Amino acid sequence: MLKNDLMVKNPLRGLVNDTNTLLAKGEFGAILARAGVGKTAFIVQIALSGLLQHKNVLHVSLDEPVQKVSLWYEEVFRRFAESYGPTPVQHLWETILTHRFIMTFQVEDFSVSKLAERVSDLTEQAIFFPQIILIDGLSFSEPPTEILNALRPLARQWGVGVWFTARIHRPEATDAVGSPKPPDAIIDLFETAIQLDPDDNRVHVRILKGPRAKTEHAGLLLDPSTMLIMDKSVQ
């Protein structure tokens, strides 16, 4: 019951595609924002959305240790489920953890070949078979075209969608409504691109590219006080 309630309340449910997923197999998605806006919190909620569906989520962190990433998950999950009693929440938390695996690299040591080697170690020993991959901390100071081109055939081979966090600087260009617009060279690397755009005490979630771009489902906010994704229509 608790799991079903959380899935129904999940504001990301409006962004799924025709296969009832946020990304199709082999597709890339990006969460774009300036430093400190909430990219990691957002991508963790994407992960939790998958975990609640019993999908195996591989979280690859390039700038945080395993313990800190684990704390992100626990904190976001407990805020998301805080209206329920501690016993059912704890049971569900322990259940979904079996579908998560955290992998860390030093930024300077990360490469697609090293990632492929470690994923192969997991799958060949039947330890973990990822269905969703998140990569948090990859540098986007220049478009990482070479890395993404090398990863795309592996994503298709593994049958996974891959999400990235992309730190962007405040750009000079703006879109039709006057919001800062990330460079096209970055957006073009992904099938789905979501921008976190801070404004006063709110963070707007703008769907720049993807199956639900420019639809009624783009009306989301990230609450800076809780770092939870919210639907504007239920504020």
Our CA dihedral for 194, 198, 202, 206, rounded to 10 degrees, sits at -20
Residue 179 to residues 41, 118, 166, 173: CA-CA distances in angstroms? Answer: 22, 40, 17, 8
Supply angle C-alpha 127, 64, 180, rounded to 5.
115
Say which CATH class 2-234 falls into: alpha beta
Cα–Cα distance measured from residue 40 to residue 227, given in angstroms and rounded to the nearest whole number: 9
Cα–Cα distance measured from residue 137 to residue 166, given in angstroms and rounded to the nearest whole number: 7
DSSP code, position 108? G
pTM of the entire structure?
0.87
Pairing of strands 161-167, 202-209: unpaired
Please say if the pLDDT value at position 217 is more than 60: no
Residue type, 59: H
List, for residues 42-67, the tens digit of each pLDDT value. 999 999 989 988 999 999 999 899 99
Cβ atoms of 86 and 44 closer than 8 Å: no
List, for residues 2-50, the tens digit of each pLDDT value. 556 565 566 676 565 555 578 999 999 999 999 889 999 999 999 998 9
Cβ atoms of 156 and 186 closer than 8 Å: no
Cβ atoms of 74 and 93 closer than 8 Å: yes
The pLDDT value given to residue 86: 60
Please say if the pLDDT value at position 69 is more than 60: yes
List, for residues 106-129, the tens digit of each pLDDT value. 988 899 999 999 999 999 999 999
Q: What angle separates helix 86-97 from helix 66-80, to the nearest 10 degrees?
A: 140
